[in-house]
Every structure is written in structure tokens, then in C-alpha cells.
Amino acid sequence: MNPVNDVFLRAARGEVTEYTPVWFMRQAGRYQPEYRKIRERYTLPEIVRHPEVTAEVTLLPVEQFGFDAAILFADITTPLYAMGFDLDIVEGRGPVIFNPVSSLDDVERIKPFDAESGTPFVLEAIKILKRELKVPLIGFAGAPFTLASYLIEGGPSKNFIKVKSFMYSQPRAWSRLLERLTEAMFDYLQAQANAGADALQVFDSWVGRLTRYDYETYVAPHMKRLFEKLAGLEVPVIHFGTQSMHLLSSMAAAGGDVIGVDTTTPLDWARDRLGTRPVQGNLDPTLLFAPAKVLERGIDAVLSANAGRPGHVFNLGHGILPGTPPESVALAVELVHQKSAVKP
Amino acid sequence: MNPVNDVFLRAARGEVTEYTPVWFMRQAGRYQPEYRKIRERYTLPEIVRHPEVTAEVTLLPVEQFGFDAAILFADITTPLYAMGFDLDIVEGRGPVIFNPVSSLDDVERIKPFDAESGTPFVLEAIKILKRELKVPLIGFAGAPFTLASYLIEGGPSKNFIKVKSFMYSQPRAWSRLLERLTEAMFDYLQAQANAGADALQVFDSWVGRLTRYDYETYVAPHMKRLFEKLAGLEVPVIHFGTQSMHLLSSMAAAGGDVIGVDTTTPLDWARDRLGTRPVQGNLDPTLLFAPAKVLERGIDAVLSANAGRPGHVFNLGHGILPGTPPESVALAVELVHQKSAVKP
């Protein structure tokens, strides 16, 4: 069934819309008391393995705040278990990999990924959500570089020494690793679209730590291949990185129907460089901790940087932070809708 | 006494030099076995409080690797003790403040800083070094925003929620805090120049986490004031931030004779926007973990991005990382000197 409210999908295709659609990265999560209650009974990986709980968590913020899109509740590490990785999400730290990759042998030992057998719960959750949702559902996956950084570092990293050293000193193993991750993430995203996801987002959260030269040399060819394959799926694909202003043109050249603009990349600067390509972003998530007047001024700044150009999906420039007051989220959604509405 | 080798100072003034001078941020530190040996006897704050040890540590990399400048061994938190802050440098975490700032009252309680009485050991170390060094000595201080982020967060931060919330919701206390830090850091830097420092660097390490709007609103006026005062000292001042490509023009407008360019900001892009303003940077510090050929290619990329323009101080785009192989540092210095030398 098509979503009743398709403003997000039309904006993602670059069409003029009656108002600017809005959703927030990590809109389902720890800042919500309802989510924290569910987390008392389930760990994050357990939620993801129970499709009905995933659906409940995914729906919560949409119903509560009136977002124009839902994003499937999952983690970028969700498909890694089926690829033979032993991992855990550690509170306050992030994903930890107990059998990290350090050689070509480790890369060759990665199991081929098949979404039907590897993450059936994700596909089931999408099917449940498609029956319940009145707004489009966004599926997602981590980009090969970002996943490789976890797999090689063994967890979140401050300086990315291990992943970059691997890339610099084992180019063949690196290339093979990114090929395998590209294949796996394509399969995962394709399965999500086939199950009913109306749009897809590729999160290359850590790619901004690479220089432009390194991105072009070690990452871009794989991203191009991924986006070429995704273009066959006929759902809009959002390409997102953080602290990646220096990579904007390279990432846009690699692909994606919509370019996700992070907090510090000026939205007007990005738009000027992307022509008519739709964009998503880019309110600073810390503004949700600010007094209402300051938050409002921040929203005004994002909307005026976009300057009424069609093809703008309002979002944060990064995920919602833990501790965000839910009432600020409600206010932000209301203000975006109100201020962007086309006056009759 | 003037330094025997003044290539760094001439490049910092934008003059044509016979080769590109090079120094590395944190060139004295944990990656050196000799430093680690000294650290067995002294903690970091203890080294700083012993001028003869500070001098020894500062000299080590200059003598060992042939850097064209020395940077005084200290920490950006060094002057904070005398301002009434109770803090410690925690291994693997960074500076931790036990009495953080959370109100205007806390700001008003900060003690006025006087370098002669507050950090006499720093000034003494500079005097010792000036007798020993054959290259220019760089003094330094943290910028008000970066210091405020430690003081308000209570330590290193991932998301800067507390400091930004303070800035957004207590603008008067914020402004007063930045004024006080500006006054204090000017006094500290002035005293270093008076003691003999040949150049100064202002480290605004965390400023890149602010949007351009927030930088202009909450930080730039204080930075302008600081640089106006520093301009009276008649030593070149380097203005450095990280992940701050989006702030390049704003930071350059605030001041600094030399603009420090971080790893991910493309050096050619920065030069094109800065006209004849000298720049410093910007080799990715992780390239020092790469095989020699890859490191060499990285050095070539930085030199060719500069394209022979005068006024380039070669540096990393961020501090040397712990675990860096000293032989890579030696090779990098040699390659920069060799490749940039003007052929007869």
C-alpha cells in the first residue's frame, strides 16, 4: 500500500511540496521514556530480533510527533552477525566486535550475506510496519567504509589508526573487504526494498575522517558500485556522512538520489554545489537542548539556507542525542511544518 | 638571541624560503621512547612544573628529527590551575575538571590570571630553551571556546551538549566566561612572547563542532579581540582548529598571521580562499603509520596542493598520535626538506 502522506517521497524526488517534510535520524531511541521502558525488557539486539517490538518502537515517534517518515529501528551492525561476526552493543560505548578483521584471511572467512536467512526479522518488521504506517518507511544500512572501520578497529574509534593502517598497508585485503561489504549491503538494502521499504538511507557515518584523496582512492569506487546497483531498485536512496564537507562533491558523484548534509556543512553551500539534487538536513541536534527561541532561530536558519528550493527533507545533521527533551522534538516538527507551509 | 635557523619564521611571514620548514604538533610526546622514559618519573603536569625537564622534553624531537621549530612542551590546561580549577590529566581520556563551570557565579569565581605568578615554570622553561635552541620556539595557548568546552563539560566531550546548552541558554554567563578566558590567554601568550617565544599558536581544537552561525554569534567576537591584542606582540601567531573547514573564512577573519589547516580541509582549497595568507598543515597523522611509499605519496600530495606558494609551514593536520613509529617521523622530515628544496 502506498503511504497516505507521501510528502517525504515527493521531496526526495525533488518535487515541490506543500510543506517541508521532516524526520529525525534516531527518532526512535533513548530520549523517549516509552522507548526506555521497552529497553527495560529487551536489549537493543533483542528489539531488532522481535519484529513486533521493532515495529512498535519504529511507530512510536511517528505517532507521537507527526514525523513525515518512519525509519526502521535497527542498527548498522544488524546484518554483521549473519556474516560471522561476534559483537555486542555496549552501553555508552557502541558496537564492539570480538573477532575483528586484521588480514586477508579474516576477510575471506566472512560469510556471504543473505537477508532472507540472515535477517528475516528485519524483513518481517518491515511487512508489519507497512500495514500500520501512514507515512513512508525508510530502510537503511551502513556504508562499507563505516562498517569496515568497526570491523577492523573492533569498535568505535577516536583516531581510526587501525582501519587507515589496514587500508594503507594491505590494499588488496582492503579492496576485498569493501567488495564483500558492498555486496552484502546491496543484498540487505534490496531485501528491505522488496519487503516494502519506500526509501533507503546509506549511513557512511565515519567517512568524514578520510581526506578527499583517500576517499577517492580507497572508498569511492566501492560506493559507486553500490549506488549503481541501488539505482535499479526504484526507491529513492539517501547518501549520508558526517563531518564530510570536504567530501561533498565526491560523495555526490558516487551516488544517491538525496544527499544528507551533516550539521557543520553549511546547507546553502551544499545546495549551491549540488544543483537540483535533493538534500536532507541539517539542524544541529544540540539545538534541541536550547531554549525554544534559540531552537526556533536554528530552524529558521536551516529553512532560509534552503531558500525555498524544492527537494529539501528537513532533518538533523546527525542523530538525536540521548537526553534530548521530547517536548523540543515536538516543537521542532511543529515549527518546520508551520514555517515551511506554502501560504495560500 | 635570534635562532640560527629562521626558515620557519620567514615562511610564517609569507617569505620565499629555500625549503619548506616543518614541525609537528605534539612532536614531543608518548610516541618517543625517550619521552616515555621521562614519563616513568614524572606525570605530565609534573614535567610542566619542572622547567629543566620541560626544556629537555621540548628539545628531544628537534635534535632527533631536525624539525625547523620547537614547540614548548605544555598542555592547554596548564594555565587553568592558577585560575582556580581543580583538574587532572587522565591517561587515555584527557583533562578532567573536578569543579566545572555551570553558572554565572562559577564564572565570577574564576581567579584573574597572571602568568608571572601563575605559571612561572613555563616562562622559566622558555628562558632555558632560548639558550639551547637553534630553531625558533613556539609558545601556545588554548582558545577560549576550546577551554570553555573542557571547563563546562568537565572533560573531553563527544557531543558537546553541556557547553552548547550553556552557550544557548546562558548567553550572559557565556560571554563573561569567554571574556575572562580571552583576557587570561592574552596575558599567558604575551608573557610567553616576553620570555622569548618567537611565535605563538592558538589551539581552537574543538571549535569545528560549532556551526558557522554559532561560531560567528558566540565565539568570533572574542577571537577578534584576542587576535587584535596579540597583533601588538610582534611575533607571528598561528590560528589552528580541527574539522573546521566550514569555519575557515570566519576563523581567518577573526585573526592570525598563519592559518593552521587541519587534515580534512583540502590545503589547495584553503589557499585559494586565503590569498597570500601563510598556512600551516596538513598531513594526515595516520599516514605516519603507513608504508614509506604511501607516506611519501601523502607528503607529495600536501606539497603539490600548496603548489610552491610561499608562506607554507609543513605540519600534520592534527597532533602526532600515540604509537606513531619514530622512524616515520624522521623519514617525513627528511622527505619534506628534500622534496621542497629549491633546486639550484
Kindly provide the residue ranges of all beta strands, DSSP E only, lying in B98-198, ordered along the sequence.
Answer: 137-142
Q: Give residue-wise pLDDT tens across range B30-67.
A: 999 999 999 999 999 999 999 999 999 999 999 999 99
Q: Is A150 a catalytic residue?
A: yes
Residue B12 has pLDDT above 70, yes or no: yes
Average pLDDT over residues B305-316: 96
Helix (H) or strand (E) holding A314: strand A312-316
How much of chain A, in percent, has pLDDT values that exceed 70? 99
SS3 helix, strand, coil % of chain B, rounded to 5? 55, 10, 35
Nearest by CB to A245, from B159, B245, B287: name it. Answer: B245
Chain A and chain B share a number of CB contacts under 8 A equal to 90
pLDDT at A303: 98
Contact A264 B210 (CB under 8 A): yes
Q: What is the pLDDT of residue A285?
A: 98
Among A207, A216, A219, A246, which would you mutate to test the B interface (most chain B Cβ atoms within 10 Å of its Cβ)?
A: A246
Decide if B215 is catalytic: no
Of B211, B263, B286, the CB nearest to A263: B211
Instruction: Give pLDDT tens digits for A64-117.
Output: 999 999 999 999 999 999 999 999 998 878 999 999 999 999 999 999 999 999
> Chain A residues with CB inside 8 Å of B264's CB?
208-212, 243, 246
Q: Could you tell me whether strands B258-260 and A279-283 are parallel, antiparallel, or unpaired per DSSP bridges?
A: unpaired
| pLDDT score, position B1 | 53
Nearest-Cα distance to chain B for A159, in Å, is: 8
So what's the ipTM on this one? 0.95
Torsion angle of C-alpha atoms A154, A155, A160, A164, degrees rounded to 10: 40
Closest CA to B142 of B51, B236, B224, B207: B207
DSSP letters, B191-211, are: HHHHHT-SEEEEEETTGGGS-
In this complex, the residue of A160, A213, A290 whose CB is nearest that of residue B169 is A290
What are the chain B neighbours of A211 within 8 Å (beta carbons)?
Answer: 263-264, 266, 284
Residues of B in contact with A301 (CB under 8 A): 213
For chain B, which residues lie within 8 Å of any Cβ of chain A, measuring from their own Cβ? 159-161, 164-165, 168-169, 208-214, 243, 245-246, 263-266, 269, 284-287, 289-291, 294, 298, 301, 321, 323
Measured between beta carbons, which residues in chain B are less than 8 angstroms from residue A286? 159-161, 164-165, 168
User: Chain B partners of A210 at a C-beta cutoff of 8 Å?
Assistant: 264
Q: Which of B30, B176, B212, B277 is catalytic?
A: B30
Flag if B164 and A212 touch (Cβ within 8 Å).
no
State the pLDDT confidence band at A60, using cuts at 50, 70 and 90: very high
Q: Is A218 a catalytic residue?
A: no
User: Which positions in chain B touch A316 (Cβ < 8 Å)?
Assistant: none
Of B165, B211, B294, the CB nearest to A289: B165
Neighbours of B334 (CB within 10 A): 14
Candidates A126, A136, A125, A160; CA nearest to A146 is A160
Contacts with B243 from chain A: Cβ below 8 Å: 208, 243, 264
Is A41 marked active-site?
no
| Per-residue pLDDT band at B344 (split at 50, 70, 90) | low
Work out the mean pLDDT of chain A and round it to a whole number: 97
Give A204-263 pLDDT, tens digit per residue: 999 999 999 999 999 999 999 999 999 999 999 999 999 999 999 999 999 999 999 999
Given a cut of 70, whether residue A1 has pLDDT beyond it is no
Bridge-based pairing of strands B199-204 and A199-204 is: unpaired
Contact A289 B168 (CB under 8 A): yes
- Selecting among A13, A19, A35, A39, the annotated active-site residue is A39
Non-local (6+) Cβ contacts of A313 within 8 A are A8, A11, A12, A20, A21, A22, A23, A69, A238, A258, A278, A279, A280, A281
Helix (H, G, I), strand (E, B) or coil at A312: strand
pLDDT score of A93: 84
Alpha-carbon distance of A75 to A272, in angstroms, equals 32
Task: Respond yes or no: is residue B309 known to be catalytic.
Answer: no
Mean pLDDT confidence for A148-166: 96
What is the pLDDT at residue A92? 78
pLDDT tens sequence across A292-322: 999 999 999 999 999 999 999 999 999 999 9
pLDDT of residue A344: 60
| pLDDT at residue B91, rounded to an integer | 80
Rounded to whole angstroms, the Cα distance separating B54 from B70 reads: 12
Q: Tens digits of per-residue pLDDT, B283-307?
A: 999 999 999 999 999 999 999 999 9
